[in-house]
Structure 1
C-alpha cells in the first residue's frame, strides 16, 4: 500500500481524502432504508439500499496523514461488534427528532413516524464519521442521513460508545464542537 491508501484492521481499505481517511462500510441494519449515497446524502444511487455508507475517519494531523488513533479503532470496533444495538439507538433518536424538531408542518407523512420502520421511506444513511473527539478510550461516531424533510441539510446523530449524545441536521454528525458538547452534557 502507498501513502494514498491504508489497510489497517478493523477498518476496510481506506484512501486519503484531503483531510482524512475514507472508504465504505456496510451496516446491515440500514438495509431497506433509502439509498442516499450522492453528495450531501441526496438522491438515490440506483442500487438497492444494502446499508452501504461512506466511511470517514478524521485525521489528528492531516498534513502528516496521521493514521487512525487507538480511540478511533476502539470506536469502530464497538460499532461493528454492536451494529444492531447502535442502529436501534440512532433510529430511536431519529424517531424522536422526526416529526418533533424536524417537522415544519407541511408534510403529513412525517406525522405518522412513531417507530424506526416508519423512517424507511424517509431517510437513508449516507455517511459514518469517526471523529477525532474522544473520551474514555472511545472516539465519537456520527451518522449522516439524507432525508425527505430537508433535502439540503439532512439529519445527523452523534454517538459515543453507542449512546446518542446529539441529534439534529446532518452537520450534527461531523462537527467536533457538537461531539464535545454532547460528551460534556453526558458527563454533567
Structure 2
C-alpha cells in the first residue's frame, strides 16, 4: 500500500531554481558595473556561463534571462569570439521573449551580430533571410548594416548620404572641473538639455537659463558640497528603504562617514535646465547613475545652491518639483 502523502511527494514537480540563479546573475552584473568593480572580463564570462548552466529550463521564460543572454552576445562580440557569439545567439533564440519577434527581426539581429563579429559571409546569409521576408526592415535599421547589405543587391538602392542631415544636433555641455576631479571623470564636460514650458528640448537658452548655467559654473564647488551634504543626511533613510543584505550592502550602499564616499557611488549623467524661474534664475535638475539603483538612478532638483528635491532620475527632468517649490513660495 502506498500512503497518500507519499504519493503526493512522489508526484510533486521539483521546484525551479531558475529565478534564484537569474537573480544571482543579475546582482553580479550590477556589481560588475560599479565604479569600484575589479571584476575582469574573463571572470565576468566565467561566472555567467557557469550559473547559466545551473539554471533549469524555466530561465527561458524569465525576461531578465533574455537580457542576460543578450549581454553575453555583446561580450563575445567584443572579444571577436564568433563561435561563442553564435552559441549565445541560439540560446537567446530559445527564450520566449525572442519568439515574440517575427523571424525577419530575429534574422536581422543575427546578421547585425555577425557583422559586428567580422563574419561578413554569415551576416549576409541572415540579411538575405530578413530581406526575403521583409524588404524594408533592414533599411530602417543601423546604417552600417544596410550599407553593407545594399552592396550585395543585384539592384542596389540609392541611399541617403549619412553626412548630410537636415536637423544637425549638437550636444550642449558645461565645464565643471571640480566635479570632474571629485567624480574621477575623464573630461570636465557635463552635458545638459534646455527645457521649455512643456518640458520639450530647446536649442537656445533664455537669459534666465544662461544665468543658471553661469551660476552653476562659477559656484560649482559650493553647489556640489551642498548637494552631497543633503544627500548624506538622507542616505541612512535610503539605506533602510533599499534594505540590502549585509553581503551586498558593502558593494551597493556602504555606510558613509562623509560626502567623499559618494565619489565611488555616483556618476553625473545629464543636467536639465528648466524654464521654471525664480528671481531670474532657473531651477536645474541633475541626473546621476547610482550604485544602489541602476534602474531608476538618482535625480536632484536645485535652485542656485538650494536643494529642492532628491528622488529618482525623474526628479531631474520633470519640472513638477520646481513648480511645487515656486508655488509654495508664491502662496
Q: Give the corresponding residue for 1:41.
A: none
1:52 to 189, 193, 196: 189
How many aligned residue pairs are there?
160
Asked if 1:78 is matched to 2:78, the reply is no
Distance 1:65 1:121, change over 3 A: closer
User: How far apart are the structure 2 equivalents of 1:64 and 1:75?
Assistant: 16
User: How far apart are the structure 1 equivalents of 2:264 and 2:243?
Assistant: 18
Cα offset for 1:117?
A: 0.6
Between stretches 114-123 and 137-146, larger displacement belongs to: 114-123
Mind listing any 5+ residue stretches in structure 2 that lack a counterpart? 1-165
Helix, strand or coil: the match of 2:221? helix
Q: Give the corresponding residue for 1:90.
A: 227
Task: Please identify the structure whose Cα radius of gyration is greater.
Answer: 2
User: How far apart are the structure 1 equivalents of 2:267 and 2:307?
Assistant: 18
1:159 to 302, 309, 314: 302
Task: Quote the RMSD (CA, aligned, Å).
Answer: 2.9
Q: Does the CA contact (< 8 Å) of 2:267 and 2:289 recur in 1?
A: yes
- Written as runs of structure 1 = structure 2, the 5 A alignment for 1:116-131 is 116-131=259-274
Mind listing any 5+ residue stretches in structure 1 that lack a counterpart? 6-13, 16-21, 36-47
Between stretches 148-157 and 108-117, larger displacement belongs to: 108-117
The higher relative CO (CA closer than 8 Å, separation ≥ 6) is in 1
TM-score, scaled to structure 1? 0.72
**Which one has a larger percent strand, Structure 1 or Structure 2?**
1
Asked if 1:141 is matched to 2:290, the reply is no
**Which one has a larger percent helix, Structure 1 or Structure 2?**
2
TM-score, scaled to structure 2? 0.43
